[in-house]
A = this chain, B = another copy of it.
Amino acid sequence: MIKIVSSGFDPFQEVHAYQQQQQSLAGKYGATNLFIGTMRDLNEGDSVKGMTLEHYPGMTEKQLARVVAKAGKQWDFLDSLVVHRVGDVFPDDVLVLVAIWSVRRGAAFDASRFIMEALKSQVPFWKKEILVDDNSRWVEKNTDGY
């Protein structure tokens, strides 16, 4: 499942609730990998007090679905959940959650990481940081995560 949310969410509750709901998973998965991206209060040496996450509605969902489908062709997993926050966020807010359920651990690690990297380079979200002096700046580029 793919969700774009405009208010705060608890990644652990999301995963727990989703897992409970997917009754066909019970007893079948041996591995779950979660990646959670959280807003820090410091970036590139500057204190950051808030951020706005812009996205391209429609294209975001379409590209996320493509990324998850690509992962599904490369690795054998049973289910996935991707949740991404948009709108105004503050330090310690969760920005993104990727969860993968699989039979064996390798696929869960690999698919989760692949989805995060692809999301960061291909899915139309943009971050604008608000610094403590109220100046704001666009984040120009995501770094490579490998």
**Which residues from chain A sit less than 8 Å from chain B, CB to CB?**
10, 12-13, 15-16, 26-42, 91-92, 103-106, 108-109, 112-113, 116, 143, 145-146
Contact = CB atoms under 8 A, between A and B. Distances in A.
Given A143-B104, A146-B106, A32 B38 contact: yes
Given A12-B15, A16-B12, A106 B145 contact: yes
A103 B33 contact: no
A91 B26 CA distance: 8
Number of this chain's copies in the assembly equals 2
B145 A104 contact: yes
A31 B37 contact: yes
B32 A33 contact: no
Given A15-B12, A145-B106, A33 B30 contact: no
